[in-house]
Structure 1
Amino acid sequence: MDDLWNVSDEQDAALVILTFLQADCSNSQYSRELLSLGKDLNLTRDINCNGTSINALDDGDLETDGHLPNYTSVSLNDIQPSVELQWPRNREVAAALQQVAEELKEIAAQIEHNVVAQATRNLRKNISSCHSQQWKKHLTKEVEWVMEQGVGLEHLHKERLMMALTLTLVKGVCEQAPQFLRNLFNTALQYFISARTR
């Protein structure tokens, strides 16, 4: 995709953002939030049909033959569901969206860790103490601050660099504070959409 902003609609932009945010996810609460968000947006589906849990009485005692009682509780809450993103049926569009997400992940991997870590801390602190309508302003401020620091990637397409940086900050905050995922996802989506129209 020559132009990052050729993502055709808001649903495609949301798919690119969700793909980026899911990469290398190790925080279980953050994973659950991502799964829930993806389901709510109809962008993911559980491919192994995990249920929530099968509840039954369980006193935790073994029976005399060494087996647990038949009414043992089976909890699936700690099992991470396998999800599949709902890519567009058009293979070319799906491949182009996947390429955008991969390019953004590669750019983000190149951004210097200490600058992003500081911006992530700043963003988390700022959004923790204000209303979500102000989050876009704080996100924009931190992206601009990092860009001013000179992250050593000036040779890259500016819009791609800014989007990778934006998503890196969103992911960094949400990994530390998963409760911010939905509002920050929506903030990033609006940032993405507004950048397309500039």
Structure 2
Amino acid sequence: MDDLGSLGSGEKAALVILAFLQADCRTSAYGEELLSLGKDFNLTRDVHSPGDLLEDGDLETDGHVTSCITAALSDMQPSVELQWPRNHAEAADLQQIAEGLREIADQLERRVVAEATLNLSRNISASPSEEWKDHLAWEVDRVMKSGVGLEHLPQERVIAALTLTLVKGVCEQTPRLLRTLFNAVLQYFNPETAR
């Protein structure tokens, strides 16, 4: 799916996908799978490593202020974060893409996602993982053909948001499917980047 060409490399696509999937994580098992997946793809880093914190609470080069507040809040923050590109403009662009996809997904969820998620979950549970990408593509195509009422938005973004919403819905119910579906999405978006 070359429609997300602005993402360029597979690593950038994986980063946007993971950022999308991490938003509003509702279950701890799903959250643990996301953290593990991020580590395996080298898309996360430990935010509490000694090299990231400065003793005097100064401003770091990435714009974060460190102080005793960081330590006090550490139990409320995840222990890892996504590794966005060092180029702040590029990182902001990728974050904006992920946020835009989440906004579209919110509109989709209110309209059609529950039924499509159930269909996808049923189809992948009855078939080998090599066919999951095809099931995912078929369900996205079916929903898009039925009309989602978002014709005013760029359709490649609607397709991406729908795809990621379906994957998130299935994986929130069955977290162990995350890795295989993540790879299916990478292959669906850009076949030469799948791992």
TM-score by length of 1: 0.78
Q: Report 1:163-182 matches (<5 A).
A: 163-182=160-179
State the distance in 1 between where 2:43 and 2:151 align.
Answer: 33
Greater share of helix: 2
2:21 aligns with 21
Work out the percentage of aligned pairs sharing the same amino acid: 63
2:56 aligns with none
1:46 aligns with 46
Query: After the TM superposition, which segments of 4 or more aligned residues of structure 1 sit over 6 Å from their partners?
Result: none
Q: 2:186 aligns with which of 184, 189, 195?
A: 189
1:145 aligns with 142
State the distance in 2 between where 1:27 and 1:83 align.
Answer: 17
State the distance in 2 between where 1:92 and 1:43 align.
Answer: 18
**Counterpart amino acid of residue 86 in structure 2:** R
Answer 1 or 2: higher relative contact order, Cα 8 Å, separation at least 6.
2
Contact 1:123–1:173 (CA under 8 A) maintained in structure 2: yes
Contact 1:44–1:86 (CA under 8 A) maintained in structure 2: yes
Q: Does 1:111 align with 2:103?
A: no
Per the TM alignment, residue 116 of structure 1 is displaced from its structure 2 partner at its CA by 0.7
1:60 aligns with none
Contact 1:48–1:81 (CA under 8 A) maintained in structure 2: no
Which runs of 5 or more residues in structure 2 are unaligned? Answer: 50-75
- Number of corresponding residues: 166
TM-score by length of 2: 0.80
CA shift digits 1:75-114 (9 cap, x unpaired)? xxxx984321101111111111111101101110111435
In our comparison, the structure showing a higher alpha carbon Rg is: 1
2:59 aligns with none
2:94 aligns with 97
CA shift digits 1:146-186 (9 cap, x unpaired)? 11221110111111100000000000000000010000000
Q: Does 1:162 align with 2:159?
A: yes
